[in-house]
């Protein structure tokens, strides 16, 4: 299987769909659930994709990611079908590292 770094636009589109549709991201910390800021979700998705990429191509040290940071709602959210396809693609690109199943992503 191959792996690539999805663009920040890709990640932003997934999170923007959640924002526009009122989805909240929550993680269990200590004794309770905490709502996570959308920008932190973007960062975690980026970090997880990068970890997967590094796992897959650990032997390569010449590859660097070009960031296209996009913060906040930046235009129309994708449709529900487009959001599902974006998530499916992301899942395929981010599942290479061993902690994928237990990650917050």
| pLDDT, tens digit only, all 105 positions of the chain | 678 888 888 898 999 899 889 999 998 888 999 999 998 999 999 989 988 888 888 877 666 655 555 545 556 778 999 999 999 998 988 888 788 787 777
Q: In this predicted structure, what is the pLDDT of residue 32?
A: 93
Three-state SS across 40-88?
A: HHHHHHHHHHHHHHHHHCCCCCCCCCCCCCCCCCCCCCCCHHHHHHHHH
Q: In this predicted structure, what is the pLDDT of residue 2?
A: 75
Tell me if residue 98 falls in helix, strand or coil. coil
Which residue is listed with tokens 């590094």? 54
Q: What value does the CA radius of gyration of the chain take, rounded to a whole number of Å?
A: 14
Question: 18 with 90: CB under 8 angstroms?
Answer: no
Q: In this predicted structure, what is the pLDDT of residue 78?
A: 87
pTM of the model: 0.80
Q: In this predicted structure, what is the pLDDT of residue 34?
A: 93
Q: In this predicted structure, what is the pLDDT of residue 68?
A: 55
Q: In this predicted structure, what is the pLDDT of residue 45?
A: 92
Tell me if residue 39 falls in helix, strand or coil. helix
Q: In this predicted structure, what is the pLDDT of residue 55?
A: 87
């Amino acid at each position: 299987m191959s792996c690539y770094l999805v663009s920040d636009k890709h990640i932003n589109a997934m999170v923007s769909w959640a924002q526009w549709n009122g989805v909240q991201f929550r993680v269990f910390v200590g004794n309770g659930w905490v709502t996570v800021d959308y920008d932190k979700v973007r960062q975690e998705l980026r970090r997880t994709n990068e970890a997967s990429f590094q796992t897959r191509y650990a032997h390569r040290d010449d590859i660097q990611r070009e960031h296209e940071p996009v913060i906040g709602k930046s235009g129309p959210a994708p449709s529900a079908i487009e959001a599902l396809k974006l998530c499916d693609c992301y899942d395929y690109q981010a599942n290479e590292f061993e902690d994928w199943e237990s990650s917050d992503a």
